[in-house]
Structure 1
């Protein structure tokens, strides 16, 4: 998986030394408030391994995002194949998770734009999706800033959560290559 560069950021492959910072990210209750629970160190390390395996198998995945000026670990942003069946799958989703200290500074937007450019220019994907719980308004705002459009007909119940779980309902956003190209042409 190749490194992507933006004016302020490096989106790079994983290193073993990223695991403690990733575990801290996944243990932060505010970062994880729209997920079923915070992760233990073991669960976080297992997730990092799954991400690295996905990257090796597909040539893309979640990049580690670090600030170019000082190498600080900001979080993860990237692409992954949706790992469950739904009306919109098979699909590739874009996602992000940043350390709370780095929220509201434009880092997620900058990194996600680089990931979308890679998705459409390098991977030649026809579409990228994103989804979250209805209460996660900051992520939905980022999806809209990226040019993604809500697909209300595609909203779904997350199959990995039990029926009746408060986080089971999810909203779906989509962005096609043609829509992305229009946005890029206008920029």
Structure 2
């Protein structure tokens, strides 16, 4: 990613990924509670591959997940708009807003604040006209963030897909009102 890209909010910095983020990124993905919605923790190799996908996606589409830090430089998690290839997803090619934060960052409004800034950036930079979000029905934290972001529920887009651990991901889909971010 471009080393100089930074999006500032009232309390946060959304940054291009740096090598220095890898350890904190992997530690977050090793936390069973943080990863409960995706079947549990992932190992360092899988975490590094995920971060590499985020970097590659930014290079291709000029938007991706961003490292989210406090103003004093503490890694909190990530948020951003990610392009999803048509060949690997039930919704076909689409852009998805998503976030994940360390447990210590939960309950402070960081997901809403950073996701809103990431949506605004993606709309401005890519001129895209649709962004979705999805979560499991019991992921109440993420569903509340979607509500606070003003996303619209789209039950007609709900989907199921197999997970790497042999489970099923049953997703509720919400759609961003792009006009709010123009």
The change in CA–CA distance for 1:40 and 1:161 in structure 2 (over 3 A counts) is closer
Runs of 4+ in 1 over 3 A off after TM superposition: 159-163
Range with bigger deviation, 134-143 or 118-127: 118-127
Q: Confirm or deny: 8 A CA contact 1:161 1:168 kept in the other structure.
A: no
What is aligned with 1:78? 80
What is aligned with 1:140? 143
TM-score, scaled relative to structure 2: 0.90
CA distance in structure 1 between the partners assigned to 2:56 and 2:76 by the alignment: 21
CA distance in structure 1 between the partners assigned to 2:175 and 2:105 by the alignment: 26
Aligned residues: 177
Q: Confirm or deny: 8 A CA contact 1:126 1:176 kept in the other structure.
A: no
What is aligned with 1:172? 173
TM-score, scaled relative to structure 1: 0.88
What is aligned with 1:90? 93
> 3-state DSSP class of the match of 1:138?
helix
Q: Confirm or deny: 8 A CA contact 2:68 2:75 kept in the other structure.
A: yes
What is aligned with 1:106? 109
CA distance in structure 2 between the partners assigned to 1:159 and 1:92 by the alignment: 20
Structure 1 residue 109 displacement after superposition: 0.8
Structure 1 residue 158 displacement after superposition: 2.0
Structure 1 residue 75 displacement after superposition: 0.5
CA distance in structure 2 between the partners assigned to 1:89 and 1:128 by the alignment: 13
Structure 1 residue 133 displacement after superposition: 1.1
CA distance in structure 2 between the partners assigned to 1:168 and 1:161 by the alignment: 10
Q: Confirm or deny: 8 A CA contact 1:3 1:10 kept in the other structure.
A: yes
Range with bigger deviation, 152-161 or 167-176: 152-161
Matches within 5 A, 1:1-150: 1=2, 2-68=5-71, 70-83=72-85, 84-86=88-90, 88-150=91-153
> 3-state DSSP class of the match of 2:176?
strand
Computed over aligned residues only, the root mean square deviation of the Cα atoms, in angstroms, reads 1.7
> 3-state DSSP class of the match of 1:127?
coil
CA distance in structure 2 between the partners assigned to 1:16 and 1:92 by the alignment: 25
CA distance in structure 2 between the partners assigned to 1:41 and 1:85 by the alignment: 24
**Structure 1 gaps, min length 5:** none
CA distance in structure 1 between the partners assigned to 2:49 and 2:123 by the alignment: 29
Structure 1 residue 161 displacement after superposition: 5.5
